[in-house]
Amino acid sequence: MTRKLSEYMVNQTGVIKQILDTDVAERLMEFGFLPGTIFSVISRAPFNGPVCIQIENNRIALRLKEAAFVLVE
Amino acid sequence: MSSQPSIRIALVGNPNIGKTTLFNKLCGLNQRTGNYPGVTVDKKKGAANYKGQSLEIIDLPGINSLYPKSKDEELVVKYLLDTKNEEYPDKFVVVVSALNLKRNLYLLDQVKDLNIPIVLAVNMIDLAEKRGIFIDFEALSNHFNVPVLPISAKKSTGIDQLKDQLLESVEVTERAAHYLEEAEKDMLSRFRDIAFDKNDYKVFLRLTQNLDENPQVQQAKDTFIRKEEVNLRKLRKNAAILRYRFVNEGLKKALTIDKSKAVDLTTRADRLLMHPIWGQVTFLLVLLAVFQAIFWLASFPMDWIDIGFGSLAEWSATALPEGYLSQLITEGLIPGIGGVVIFIPQIAILFFLFSLLEESGYMSRIIFLNDRVMQKFGMSGKSIVPMISGMACAIPAIMAARTIENSRERLITILVTPLLTCSARIPVYVLVIALVIPDDTYIWIFNAQGLALMAMYLLGVLMTFIVALVLKRILKPVYKSYLLLELPEYLIPDMKNVLVRVWNNVKSFIWNAGKIIVATAIILFVLATNGGEEFQQAEVYVQENHATLSTEEQAVFLSSYQIEKSYLGQIGKTIEPAIEPLGYDWKIGISLVTSLAAREVFVGTMSIIYAIDSEETMTIRDRLKKEVNPSTGMPVFGLATSVSLLIFYAFALQCMSTVAVTYKETKSFKWTAIQFGYMTALAYFGALIAYQILS
């Protein structure tokens, strides 16, 4: 089942399946959001603030809006 | 000294990889940053001498890729592509962190395709070993076909080897475009007829992003894209995937990680520091500590400076021979310089703490924690950095807004930042507050003057957010805003970096703000001690018309008559009708005019006007308290006037350096004028309302 990255809670992990075609898509990919990559959620800021994702040895913060463009299987 | 021309070397790399540490290691204090006015790229330049060869080193701001998303990145990419420039570097050092090879090598892979001479420096090898990260540098070098040097900038390992490498010539080897699929290659070669460049990758960049093309080329490009149905976004996405594939192949050969040695302190620390509740609590504590340090800790050296300059002026008054020049030094120049020097402790402390926060990696967490709140006000989490530095000085703050990608969020941040209470306002606040609240007044356990000062700070913050909210309503978003931020590993700050940064900032503050303040002090003094005919005839006038007064009384009357008739007095008198509704007289008017250059000049002006006005030596505060309105017999600095003055100084943009830096950063006369206009309007009407209610 496909879920959005933005729906993942702290400490959950998953494998990125696809990046939806939007303006930030290439930037997300440049930051390492590539299909097949394993990630885990480190933290979510309060009041629906940004999420912090760990990809390999990198921690990357992004807003929920952008996290919704990342599909996970 | 060698007669050979120096080798120009530029450092390129992602943010947070220790590039600046390397730069400091290479050139020490022998460096300078482009000054605020007049430069397009804020590039740090340094010089070094190695084995008789002089090196010129340029530290470029950190970038994520050659597809710029912020002003900062845009400047660097333009610089890298400008190969025809006379000052184009001879060599580039691409700096990567051993802790974050994959993402950093992605940038190397892009830069490599520009076919420029590159040396790869892999930094932080000391930390990598501790984490169980082992790198086969030869395999890395073979894969990317560049010389690779392992270094630790912090521990000074490998620096000489790097310098040796820089003295040698670097061969540029071209390689096939692995970032393109076969069909795309054919398409690109057709595009080359439109935008010719020897270099394939530059042709690709010109196709896939908007570089300033001439209108003809741009038109041909648009037609080409339409006719060939080129999907630019797909091209860019594909290129990213293919590049990462190439980087991964290299890492498979060159990188081994011993997982048993990996201790992830950062993740553990982040559980607390980025926790929804504890993270915010920690942030507030850090903020509190920063402000405590700026105000409480800085107050000691500031007192010494204040006393020091006071006695210096007194000493020079007695030591120098009497005359106009000595008077200029004692009453114009010394207080003027003192007015600049007094801010050094605060600015030094602020930048010291800021560098600590940034070097340790905590600053990115602050951005993460505050993004949501700042979004509500049309800004980004990244706006928090300019806003905190705005509490010391708006000039570096406005420049710090460069890292904000979204143009609307950046513009709002720039426009509102000068409303925050910068340190130049403090002396004005302190002086005026002391006029209405006696020293030893306490409200419960709090000093009343301190509370009033805090209220002024809150007023600034409140107005900042109100104006931001209004701007958010007015300004339509042009681009979608997003936040994509790498949170670096926590590291112990490098003290040399921290101190060099403090030094650079203090130096540029003294130079930039200092010039204006000292110049104003001198012009002011000249205007106050010269005048038209009435001024020159003052002595005769007083002797003729006030012959009944004693000699002493005549002297006092003469000096106050002189200041009134001086050029400065005339200016004050001219604007008096406009400022009378705010409760100000012409003397305050003079101070308002001179504060247009810089706010802190207010205190200096007041002391110059009143010192010139009277022969007695008395502190400026006591002088002002005694000042009486000749028509009403009431003190000039009553509650209403003082509050009105405080509000005026809270909102008015009385700082030419800020105006200059806003213009430079927005490149827009319109927004510079709007910023100046709205702040002046807020100041005038705020002060007007306050005075009319209170009087």
At A19-67, the pLDDT tens digits run 998 888 888 999 999 999 999 999 999 889 999 999 887 899 999 999 9
The answer to whether A71 faces chain B, any CB pair under 8 Å, is no
Q: Are B422 and B294 in contact (CB under 8 A)?
A: no
Are A58 and B371 in contact (CB < 8 Å)? no
Length, in residues, of chain A: 73
Chain B residues close to A19, C-beta within 8 Å = 237
Q: Quick one: chain A helix, strand, coil %, rounded to 5?
A: 20, 40, 40
List, in sequence order, the alpha helices (H) in B156-195. Answer: 159-167, 182-191
Contact present, B44 and B10 (Cβ < 8 Å): no
CB pairs under 8 A between A and B: 119
**Chain A residues with CB-CB distance to B275 below 8 A:** 43
A24 near A5, Cβ under 8 Å?
Answer: no
DSSP-assigned letters across all residues of B480-525: ----EEEEPPP-PPPHHHHHHHHHHHHHHHHHHHHHHHHHHHHHHH
How many helices (H) and strands (E) chain B has is answered by 33, 12
The residue in chain B having the minimum alpha-carbon distance to the alpha carbon of residue A65 is B482
- pLDDT for residue B37: 32
How many Cβ atoms from other residues are within 10 Å of residue B574's Cβ? Answer: 12
Cα–Cα distance measured from residue B568 to residue B574, given in angstroms and rounded to the nearest whole number? 10
Residues contacting B638, CB < 8 A, separation 6+: B436, B583, B695
Provide the H-helix boundaries in B97-199.
101-112, 125-130, 137-144, 159-167, 182-191
Q: Which residues of A touch B244 (CB under 8 A)?
A: 29, 32, 34
How do beta strands B118-123 and B91-97 pair?
Answer: parallel
| Contact at CB, A30 and B67, closer than 8 angstroms | yes
Please name the residues in contact with B219: beta carbons below 8 A apart, sequence gap of 6 or more.
none
Which chain B residue has the Cα nearest residue A69? Answer: B482
Q: Which residues contact B377 (CB under 8 A, 6 or more apart)?
A: B412, B465, B468, B469, B472
Give the closest-approach CA distance of A38 to chain B in angstroms: 15
Binary contact (B270, A42; C-beta < 8 A): yes
CB-based contact A43 B270, cutoff 8 Å = yes
Residue B52 token pair: 């008789």
What helix, strand, coil percent values describe chain B, rounded to 5? Answer: 65, 10, 25
- At B330, which amino acid appears? T
What's the total number of domains in chain A?
Answer: 1
Nearest CA in chain B to A40: B267
Q: Is A17 on the interface with B (CB under 8 A)?
A: no
Residue A24 at interface with chain B, using a CB cutoff of 8 Å: yes
Nearest-CA distance from B406 to chain A in Å? 12
Helix, strand, or coil here: B546? Answer: coil
Question: What pLDDT, on a 0 to 100 scale, did the predictor assign at position B613?
Answer: 56
Contact state of B274 with A24 under an 8 Å Cβ cutoff: no
Name the region of A33 (left: φ>0; alpha: ψ -120 to 50; beta: rest). beta
Count of other CB atoms within 10 angstroms of residue B178:
13
Q: Is the separation of the CB atoms in B421 and B646 below 8 Å?
A: no
Please tell me the predicted confidence (pLDDT) of residue B1: 46
pLDDT at B38: 34
pLDDT at B611: 61
Q: What residue in A sits closest to B98 (Cα-Cα)?
A: A57
Burial of B318 per CB tally in 10 Å (0-12, 13-18, 19+): exposed
Task: Write down all domains in chain B, each with its CATH number in brackets.
Answer: 7-167 (3.40.50.300), 182-271 (no CATH), 280-476+507-530+566-694 (no CATH)
Task: Tell me if A57 and B480 make a contact (CB, 8 A cut-off).
Answer: no
Token reading at B276: 């929804």
From residue B524, alpha-carbon distances to B118, B336, B339, B517, B606 in Å are 54, 10, 14, 10, 11
Q: Per DSSP, what are the bridge partners of residue B497?
A: none
Give B684's contacts (C-beta < 8 A, 6+ positions apart). B582, B648, B652
**Å between B486 CA and nearest CA of chain A:** 4
Host domain of residue A37: 3-72
pLDDT of residue B415: 97
**DSSP-assigned letters across all residues of B412-447:** HHHHHGGGS--TTHHHHHHHHHHHHS-TT-EETTEE
Is A31 in contact with B484 (Cβ distance < 8 A)? yes
Q: CB A42 to CB B482 under 8 A?
A: no
Q: What is the structure's pLDDT at B291?
A: 76
A27 at interface of B, judged by CB pairs closer than 8 A: yes
Give the up-direction half-sphere exposure of residue B335: CA atoms within 13 A in the CB hemisphere.
24
Ranges in chain B, pLDDT < 70: 1-3, 33-43, 261-263, 479, 556, 608, 611-620, 630-631
Chain A residue numbers touching B375 (CB-CB < 8 A):
63
Task: Determine contact, residues B93/B151, Cβ cutoff 8 Å.
Answer: no
Residue A26 touches partner B, C-beta closer than 8 Å: yes
> Which among A63, A65, A66 is the top mutation candidate for probing chain B, defined by the most B β-carbons within 10 Å of its own β-carbon?
A63
The answer for residues whose C-beta is within 8 angstroms of residue B673's C-beta and 6 or more apart is: none
SS3 assignment, position B278? helix
Note the pLDDT of residue B612.
58
Q: Quick one: pLDDT at residue B616?
A: 54
Residues B270, B364: contact at Cβ < 8 Å? no
HSE, side-chain direction, 13 A CA sphere, residue B103: 28
